[in-house]
Amino acid sequence: MSRNRRNGRTRRTGFQEPKRFIVVAMEGRATEPCYFDLFRTAREHPMQYKPVSNPKDKSRPSEVYDRLDLAFRAYERSRDEGWLVIDRDAWSEAELDDVCRRARASGYHVALSNPCFELWLYLHKRDNRQFADRHDCQRALGEVLANYSPDRKGSFDPQGLRDGIEAALERAAALDQHPDTPWPRHQVTRVYRLVRKLMSGPTTDNTGERLHS
């Protein structure tokens, strides 16, 4: 009889800690998925990024919630996290309030950008400036990010943003002066909260090279 058995202990062979999944449903079908590909998680790591597909191109906040809620049924709520990535855009305050209420009741997180997701990308390159609306923000991003244009939103290379992630985290967090509100009424992007989660473990770039530790 082995010493472990004599001591009342059984050695567990080949045991692996259960994986933790970060499940993300996004409003956009081009810009957001292109960017978040930066955080494709290494296979062996216990934290895995799982984007939710959007085959019918449904972008209303309520539709993003429904897609996440359906996809998240395959995961364990006690370990895993569900995230909605949505924009202020021209959606009504009532709809955004309702989606944030439903998300909170379900234990999901909301990474809302006001006016749009492109603000988060812009903060990788420049300090914040006030934008008139989402179109103004998208035009400004096209001036600082190679190969991005409002007409070809998914054509940019996300690798060009890698060096600016830490700066974007700092700039976005500094903008969020009222972090306890369900969603920001002023120009703020809360994508920084999701990116902090995704950076909590090693990820790889498209070549398999380690991106973050």
Task: List, for residues 88-105, the tens digit of each pLDDT value.
Answer: 998 999 999 999 999 999
Q: How far apart are CA 89 and CA 91, in angstroms?
A: 6
> For residue range 31-81, what is the model confidence (pLDDT) as tens digits?
999 999 999 877 888 889 999 999 888 899 999 999 999 999 988 767 899
Examine the pLDDT at 207 and tell me if it is beyond 80: no
Per-state percent for the chain, helix, strand, coil, to nearest 5: 40, 15, 45
pLDDT top residue among 21 and 152: 21
Q: At what angle do helices 61-71 and 93-106 cross, to 10 degrees?
A: 20
What is the total count of domains within the chain? 1
5 within domain boundaries:
no
Structural domain contains residue 206: no
- 1 is a domain residue: no
Give the chain's mean pLDDT.
87
Q: Is residue 208 part of a domain?
A: no
Whichever domain contains 186, its CATH number is: 3.40.50
User: If you average pLDDT over residues 178-196, what whole number do you get?
Assistant: 97
Domain extent for 143: 19-201
Structural domain contains residue 86: yes
Q: Would residue 144 count as lying in a domain?
A: yes
Q: pTM for the whole thing?
A: 0.85
Establish if 3 belongs to a structural domain: no
Question: Is residue 209 domain-resident?
Answer: no
What is the CB-side half-sphere exposure of residue 130 using CA atoms within 13 A? 2
